[in-house]
A and B are shown apart, each in its own frame.
Chain A
Amino acid sequence: MRNGPSWFNVTSVALGLGFLYLPIVLLVIYSFNDSRLVTVWGGFSTRWYGEMLNNQQLLDAAWVTLRVAFLSASIATFLGTLAALVLVRSGRFLGRTLFSGMVYAPLVMPEVILGLSLLLLFVAVDQARGFWTIIIAHTTFAMCYVAVVVQSRLTGFDASLEEAAQDLGCPPLRTFFSVTLPIILPSVIAGWMLAFTLSLDDLVVASFTTGPGATTLPMKIYSQVRLGVTPEINAISTVLVGLVAVVVIAVSLMTKRQEVRRQRDIRLAEAQQA
């Protein structure tokens, strides 16, 4: 019996994690670099975080991005949940295969094509491009992710719960709000968060569908980087990474604690029964 992990396992883990996270670690380290030159270490400093907060353009872009992400995630969650409900509940209907294929198509469609086709559409209907066209575009592709997440939860949903509610005198629509929705809520929230993150860091689709006055943060960063990387960009990127990490860790801790509590409750109930 071997006790610890072998050197091979340790090396594999180190290489894998390094490949994934080394660039991000470097980015975080250099955001605290005092030097204006990105590649030369000039001592520890937080001055770029201060400069970032004074950069009105950057802050404007961040504000646009957050609003776009919030609105498109919300619309996508609504539509995606509806799509998932139809796909799981309606059984067979004419055009079901076509419908499910079309819901999932944006998952595999190249972003460039999605962006271009949306641009052509907006031009064709003579829609002025800007804030709202980005929201529509982001909703389009985020919706299918929500549909996938919610659908997987609905598939494991015991349909007799809804029947029980109706059997007890609850009309179908009220059944949805008082029984179905509360139960699938975790997956709806997860879908919303996924849509939010996808919208937050989208560059390609936003570039195609944007217009004057609606510059998102990724677009801003990208255009600045073309003029040369500044430590300010490192700083705002670090803030973004931190934000995402905090949310993800919080959610996973929450689910884990719930599961632990659930297991304990079950054991408790069984012990009392005995």
Chain B
Amino acid sequence: MAKKPIGPVRRAFAPWEDGNATPFIEFRNVTKRFGDFTAVDDLSLKIYEREFFALLGGSGCGKTTMMRMLAGFETPNSGEIFLDGQPLRGVPPHRRPVNMMFQSYALFPHMTVEANIAFGLKQEGMARAAITERVAQMLKLVKLEDFARRKPHQLSGGQRQRVALARSLAKKPKVLLLDEPLGALDRKLREETQFELTDLQQDLGMTFVIVTHDQEEAMTMADRIAVMDKGRIIQIASPAEIYELPNSRFVADFIGDINLLECKLTGRNGDSSTLRSEIFDCDIEVAQPVEASVGDTVWFAIRPEKVRIGFDAPATAVNRLAGEVWDIGYLGDVSIYHTHIRDEETIRATVANHSRVVERPMSWEDKVWLSWDRDAGIVLTR
């Protein structure tokens, strides 16, 4: 499975870079505690209209609480949430112009697919004819025209997921919240649905906020990702930035695979820095200014696919290490070489399998050279 570090290319949509843009959803110093446990800790966040925004984090990081506060199922202990400029405090869930797609889908088991989709429209007091028309539209959108009269238990997992989506879209909410929407689907279906969702969001022009623990899901769909940990946001950036320019070891480690080397900063000259790793017994040159003093402990992070591996010592490479192949993970499209440096520490290098041979030239216990460019890795100070 190839990594998909960069989402579909979008037409210059970046309201968050415009200082004057008004946010559509804003969390202002929001804190939510459950007893002694602080689920969301003094968190501020701006989400813009028509954005596809992902809250990404492990379980218990507070991402679901954020979504539930937006939907109105939880009330923040302090701070305020604004939607389209209006404070949401005191507005009950049934009066908020947001709709949510639940992780469990929460389809009403005693109603048909049609009735499920029509439920929200009936609450609005929409005319019967208009409801019928909208339901037909929605069924067409999610390609379930033939299943209108079925009950939820007569549907497969993928079909239920689409009914849940249709039901939450039927009222054309200003914001659609998606709580782990693809969690229950198998891999192939999940990948298809990811792209369907992005297309849908662009066609409908709605603001989507998705909560997920699956980095690939966030990467493929979102315009921006907020990586959360322990009730705080660690980094908010586009998928490519999150992947290529993580701001901390937590983000670097959470998103994708990465080699982390503890180093000392030994030199700063203009746009580049030099590091020294005692464990690997090597000097590393990085084309990046580092905001730390000489002698400070920093971490050098480099993605496995940016490490070159070969039998011959690279003559020109600035950064290189000699090692021995310890383990090979063959994934079909790529192979991951776990290389031991000085018999103990491991660095992983990924190589695309360009030719169709079963026997790879590189094998266990081969002596190899690893090398990388000056701009391949990143220095992290926290």
Contact = CB atoms under 8 A, between A and B. Distances in A.
A171 B99 CA distance: 14
A160 B105 CA distance: 9
A268 B159 CA distance: 13
A247 to B, nearest CB: 23
Nearest to A167: B100
Interface in A166-204: 166-172, 174, 179, 182-183
A167 B153 contact: no
Given A269-B155, A269-B159, A273-B159, A170 B106 contact: no
B332 interface: no
Contact of B154 (A165, A174, A265): A265
B123 interface: yes
A166 B106 contact: no
Contacts, number: 81
Given A182-B110, A265-B154, A269-B155, A166 B102 contact: no
B124 A169 contact: yes
A165 B168 CA distance: 11
A174 B71 CA distance: 19
Interface in A199-243: none
B33 to A, nearest CB: 16
B108 A266 contact: no
B159 A169 contact: no
A168 B158 CA distance: 22
A163 interface: yes
A165 B119 contact: yes
A272 interface: yes
Contacts of A171: 92, 94
B153 A163 contact: no
Contacts of A174: 123
A162 to B, nearest CB: 9
A113 interface: no
A91 B156 CA distance: 34
A164 interface: yes
A51 B95 CA distance: 66
Contacts of B151: 265
Interface in B196-230: none
B92 A272 contact: no
A160 B106 contact: yes
B167 interface: yes
B93 A163 contact: yes
How many B residues are at the interface, by size bracket? Answer: 20 to 34
B156 A163 contact: no
Contacts of B108: 161, 164-165, 179, 183
A27 to B, nearest CB: 42
A183 to B, nearest CB: 6
Contacts of A168: 94, 99, 119-120, 123, 167-168, 171
Interface in B163-203: 167-168, 171
B106 A169 contact: no
Contacts of B98: 167
Contacts of A172: 92, 94
A269 B171 contact: no
B185 to A, nearest CB: 11
Interface string A63-107: 000000000000000000000000000000000000000000000
Contacts of B119: 165, 168, 170
A262 interface: yes
Interface in B63-118: 71-73, 92-96, 98-100, 102-104, 106-110
A167 B177 CA distance: 11
A79 to B, nearest CB: 24
A80 B158 CA distance: 38
Given A163-B71, A169-B124, 15 more contacts: A163-B100, A163-B106, A164-B107, A165-B108, A167-B94, A168-B123, A169-B95, A170-B123, A179-B108, A262-B153, A265-B154, A266-B154, A269-B155, A273-B156, A273-B159
The 9 closest A-B pairs by CB, nearest first: A168-B120, A169-B123, A273-B156, A164-B106, A265-B154, A160-B106, A166-B93, A182-B110, A166-B94
Interface of B: 71-73, 92-96, 98-100, 102-104, 106-110, 119-120, 123-124, 150-151, 153-156, 158-159, 167-168, 171
29 contacts: A158-B104, A163-B71, A164-B100, A164-B102, A164-B106, A166-B72, A166-B92, A167-B71, A167-B94, A167-B98, A167-B99, A168-B94, A168-B167, A169-B94, A169-B95, A169-B124, A169-B171, A170-B94, A171-B94, A182-B110, A183-B108, A262-B153, A265-B153, A265-B154, A266-B153, A269-B150, A269-B154, A269-B155, A269-B156
Interface of A: 158, 160-161, 163-172, 174, 179, 182-183, 262, 265-266, 268-270, 272-273
